[in-house]
Amino acid sequence: MAARDIDLLKIKNRYHIVGNSPELDMAIRTALSVATTNLPVLIIGESGVGKDVFSQMIHDYSKRKSRKLLPVNCGAIPVGTVNSELFGHERGSFTGAVESRKGWFEEADGSTIFLDEIGELPKDTQAQLLRVLQQGEFMRVGSSKVLHTDVRVVAATNLDLNHAISQGKFRLDLYYRLNTITVKIPALRERPDDIPLLFRQFCIDFAVKNNYQSVSLTKEAENLLKSYRWPGNVRELISIANRVCTMESEPLSPGVSEERVQITSQQLNRHMPHDEGSFIPAVAEETGSGLSPEERKMIFGSIVKLKQEVEELKKTVIALQGGQKTPDAAFALAPRRDESYMAVEEPEPDEQSQEEIGTEVRKTGENALTLEDNTYQAILSSMARNDNNRSKVARELGISERTVYRKLNTMMKLGLWQKD
Ligand SMILES: Nc1ncnc2c1ncn2[C@@H]1O[C@H](COP(=O)(O)OP(=O)(O)OP(=O)(O)O)[C@@H](O)[C@H]1O
Ligand SMILES: [Mg+2]
């Protein structure tokens, strides 16, 4: 037991992992135990929780550590080229294939491949991946020659793969093959006590790197941090810590007498996002009611849902009072699609139907737009925050780059967004 705790500390230092929650420790222990085997590993966790860090850790502690880990973001490869990227192609196998090319599975022979956003792989690619996992065999695009590779697969997803399976988007047999060992990295809101520790560390990093005053928080400010939902998890926390340090502390210079500065909750509040539902309801946080994160999520979801229903009712009443039973009013009374308010991402229709839905909801009426508009709004705000960098937007929102791309396309058609 003692030896294991020393390992844990060593690993946290090596990978700059901050946090003491039992769930995080369990994730590290699981990663370490499986690292030395050749078993595939499935890392699950929301956007920004540390899935990349864990994939590197598993590789570094494996027998393959002398070779480089090969990371592949499945969500960033266009559907049309994903087979050729992963398994290679022969010359002339498609327009533009001017010469043969090795795929990532050939390149990674003897090493580990990190398949990030595995839930984004098309179904036919999933079948080929299953074959590699079971027999170590694959074929290049345009060839019938069976090739062999010795690759260890570490996969990651921030999607609920069970949901993807029930929608027919992810193969059950592949899921069974991948999830023998699952490393679940907890979201920040599930380990609130780690939040101030992480914040403190990122402020220290900032102060050391930039020679600034060191920043600490009042107890109230810490509570404010803990009550935020952190949809972007640790990555978002880093960004807010940097923002707070930049705006609320000063560079150390002969004119600055204080080496430390304490930030109040009011000061901190100025730098926190205030989108709808961004804070966990105070009642669940402060009563010390012993509610589990799942129970808190459920309560939170119900409150958001209730609020939306009240808004809809208000609109209906106003419309009815005006004496006109408008199509909008009638629509507001109709049952809505069942929507999970806690889902990170709604189920993604294919490209064609996505566009159709975009135009269809516009036609249906104002109320039908709410959910879609929220998505567009979130993407637009994130684009502004991230200098229009789509991969950063995808990471921040916990959706794939392909989804960002599709949504932007739809928004462009609706006149909501323009390319610069
Ligand atoms: N426990 C932690 N302590 C300190 N830093 C952490 C911790 N977990 C993650 N980080 C840092 O947070 C950032 C995001 O981590 P990472 O890229 O591994 O997340 P991810 O889950 O792969 O995100 P995405 O879903 O967007 O791909 C990185 O800078 C990483 O070093
Ligand atoms: Mg990642």
pLDDT, tens digit, 9 for 90 and up, residues 105-115: 999 999 999 99
48 in any annotated domain = yes
Same structural domain for residues 169 and 44? Answer: yes
| 298 assigned to some structural domain | no
Sort strands 137-138 and 152-157 into parallel, antiparallel or unpaired: unpaired
Say which DSSP state 369 is in: G
Are the beta carbons of 277 and 231 closer than 8 angstroms? no
Within-domain flag for 338: no
Task: Give domain status of residue 105, yes or no.
Answer: yes
Do residues 216 and 263 lie in contact, with contact meaning Cβ atoms separated by under 8 Å? Answer: yes
Helices (H), 342-369: 351-364
**CA separation for the pair 376, 404 (Å, rounded):** 10
Do 379 and 267 reside in the same domain of the chain?
no
The 10s digit of each residue's pLDDT in 268-325 is: 999 999 876 777 764 334 344 555 555 555 665 666 567 666 666 766 676 666 644 3
Domain boundary among 157, 186, 215: 186
Calculate the average pLDDT of the chain.
82
Q: To test the ligand 1 pocket, which listed residue (49, 189, 242, 390) has its Cβ within 8 A of the most ligand atoms?
A: 49
User: Are 160 and 194 in a shared domain?
Assistant: no
Distance CA 233, CA 63 (A): 31
**Are residues 79 and 147 located together in one domain of the fold?**
yes
Closest atom of ligand 1 to CA, residue 19: 1
Tokens of 85: 């990227």
**Same-domain pairing of 144 and 198:** no
d(CA 210, CA 252): 9
The verdict on 175 and 217 lying in the same domain is no
Which residue lies with its CA nearest to atom 25 of ligand 1?
47
Co-location of 170 and 218 in the same domain: no
Closest ligand relative to 399 C-alpha = 1
Q: What is the pLDDT of residue 120?
A: 95
Ligand 1 pocket check: which of 160, 235, 403 to mutate, most ligand atoms within 8 Å of Cβ? 235
Residue 233, ligand 1, Cβ within 6 A? no
Do 370 and 396 fall within a single domain?
A: yes
CATH number at 66 reads 3.40.50.300
- Cα dihedral sign, 170-172-173-175: positive
Domain count, the chain: 3
The answer to whether residues 235 and 347 belong to one domain is: no
Q: Is residue 335 part of a domain?
A: no
Ligand nearest to the CA of 185: 1
For residue 44 and ligand 1, the question of a CB distance below 6 A is answered with no
254-269 pLDDT tens trace:
877 788 999 999 999 9
Q: Is 222 exposed, middle or buried (0-12, 13-18, 19+ CB in 10 A)?
A: buried
Residues 179 and 195 in one domain: no
> Looking up tokens 């403190």, which residue turns up?
200
User: What are the pLDDT digits (tens) for 172-213?
Assistant: 999 999 999 999 999 999 999 999 999 999 999 999 999 999
- Asked if residue 332 is part of any domain, the answer here is no
Mutate to test the pocket of ligand 1, among 14, 158, 234 (most ligand atoms within 8 A of CB): 234
Residue ending a domain, choose from 225, 250, 279: 279
Q: How far is the CA of 77 from the centre of ligand 1 (A)?
A: 22
Cα–Cα distance, 79 to 307 (Å, whole number): 39
**Average pLDDT, integer, range 346-355:** 39
122: left (phi > 0), else alpha (psi -120 to 50), else beta? Answer: beta
3-state secondary structure of 157: strand
Q: Are 231 and 393 in contact (CB under 8 A)?
A: no
Could you tell me the residue range of the domain that residue 111 belongs to? 2-186
306 domain-assigned: no
- The yes-or-no verdict on residue 10 having pLDDT over 50 is yes
Check residue 121 and report its DSSP letter: S
State the Cα–Cα distance between residues 312 and 328, nearest whole angstrom: 10
Query: pLDDT tens across 43-98, in order?
Result: 999 999 999 999 999 999 999 999 999 999 999 999 989 999 999 999 988 888 88
At 169 the pLDDT is: 95
Residue 340 alpha carbon to ligand 2 centre in Å? 24
Q: Which residues contact 292 (CB under 8 A, 6 or more apart)?
A: none
Q: Is the CB of 47 under 6 A from ligand 1?
A: yes
pLDDT digits (tens, 9 = 90+) for 123-182: 999 999 999 999 999 999 999 999 999 999 999 999 889 999 999 999 999 999 999 999
Tokens 């049309």 found at: 80
Output the pLDDT for position 305.
60
Residues 171 and 223 in one domain: no
Which atom of ligand 1 is found nearest the CA of 47? Answer: 25
Q: Do 175 and 225 fall into the same domain?
A: no
pLDDT average, residue stretch 36-47? 97
Q: Let me know if residue 333 belongs to a domain.
A: no
